[in-house]
Structure 1
Amino acid sequence: MRKFEVAPPSKYTPELREEAVQIALRSSKTISETARELELNPETLRGWVKKYQKQNEPAAGAPLTLDERARLKEQDRRIRELEMENAFLKKCAAYFAKDPR
């Protein structure tokens, strides 16, 4: 008969894990850099982040809510506006670059 060992209790509380994941997700640094700053093993933090992302990802193919549709429409409008401004600025830069004053 096999003897099963009971895993030792985790030395990290759920609150610490949650806070570390949130810091890692909000940070512009890599997970390894964030883990070093928090004095954690990078692979441990990476595993927590992956688990969090898997549990909190939106259902694939789920219809967008009314708020999400409105936000998406507004973002599309803003992107078009910024692309037009960018094109205008490129034309201005080209004009002034060739103008020998």
Structure 2
Amino acid sequence: TEKRVSKMSKEKPKIYPPEFRESSVKLAIESDQSIAQTAKELGINPNTLHTWISKYSKPSQSRPVVKRTDEHLYDELKRLKKENTRLKEERDILKKAASYFAQEIQ
């Protein structure tokens, strides 16, 4: 275990700029794909991205109120995009069904 401890202490964690972290969080929230897939595409550990999302989603005294509101808006935007996609699919199904039944009546 001494070798393991000394090896671990030599490894430095990657340090990402705050801009990269914030843009990664924004992408993960706005994207329709999973957070794990987004992290893979960005070349970062999924747990790291989850941590960033938690960190940037929490209100912070050092950050302006507008930033916190923006993050909540991103969550809302992601939810609405998914709902919009689902509703479009339902609408298309109903259009096809209405067309089918209209032909049956004639």
- Name the TM-score, length of structure 2 as normaliser: 0.46
TM-score, with normalisation over the residues of structure 1? 0.48
Bigger radius of gyration among the two? 1
